[in-house]
Amino acid sequence: SYWYFSGNQTSAHVVNRVNSMLSSADAEALAAVIVAVDPTEGDLEGIGETSKEIRRELGADSPLKVFSILPPPYAANAGFSSTYRNFLTGYVEACKPHAILTDYALCQGETGNTAEEMLAMLVMERRLFATGSRPLYAAVQCSSSGDTLRMPTLYEMRFNVHAALALGAKSIVYKTA
C-alpha cells in the first residue's frame, strides 16, 4: 500500500488528488492520507480542521485512513507547552485520527536517543490508546539524514521493530529520511 502525504496543501487540493488516484489503476494500493508531519501544539487546531474536511469530502464510507506523523518527545521544534502526554491527548481530541503514527530515531546526533526513551514513549502511547480505537503504527528509521541522523545499525533497526511490535504496534513504516 502507499500513503498520500498532503504537506501544506489545502483540503480541496488533497481531496482532488486523492480522488484522482482512486480512479486510477492503482486505486486499491492507496491506504491513507497523511495530513501533517511533526505537527506542533500550535498546529493541532488547523490540522484537526483539515482532517475533518478531508474526511467529509471523501465520504463516510471511504476506506482511507487520515492521520499525521507525530513528532517524538525529543523534537526541539515541537514546542510542547507541558508534557508529551498532553500533546498526544490534544492531538487525538483535535484531529480525531484513524491511527497513531509515531516516529523515534535511535540514531539522533552523535550520542543518539536512548532505547529507554523510545520504550517509554511506546508504553505511554499504548496506555493512552489501549482502547483499541486507534491502531498504533511505528516509523523505523533506516537511513541517515544530513548531520542530524546517522545510519542505524541492523541491531538498532531490529530493536526498534521488535520493541514497537511487542508494545502493540499494528504496522511498521520504514522511514528513509
The DSSP secondary structure of 102-143, one letter per residue, reads EE--TTBTTT---HHHHHHHHHHHHHHTTTSSS-EEEEEE-S
Residue 132 pLDDT level (bands cut at 50, 70, 90): low
Pairing of strands 136-141, 100-103: parallel
- The pLDDT assigned to 109 comes to 47
When pLDDT is averaged across residues 89-97 and rounded to a whole number, the result is: 84
If one compares 142 and 131, the residue with the highest pLDDT of the two is 142
| Prediction pTM value | 0.74
Q: Is the pLDDT of residue 98 over 50?
A: yes
- The pLDDT assigned to 106 comes to 67
Are 143 and 111 in contact, with CB atoms under 8 Å apart? no
When pLDDT is averaged across residues 67-71 and rounded to a whole number, the result is: 80
When pLDDT is averaged across residues 6-34 and rounded to a whole number, the result is: 86
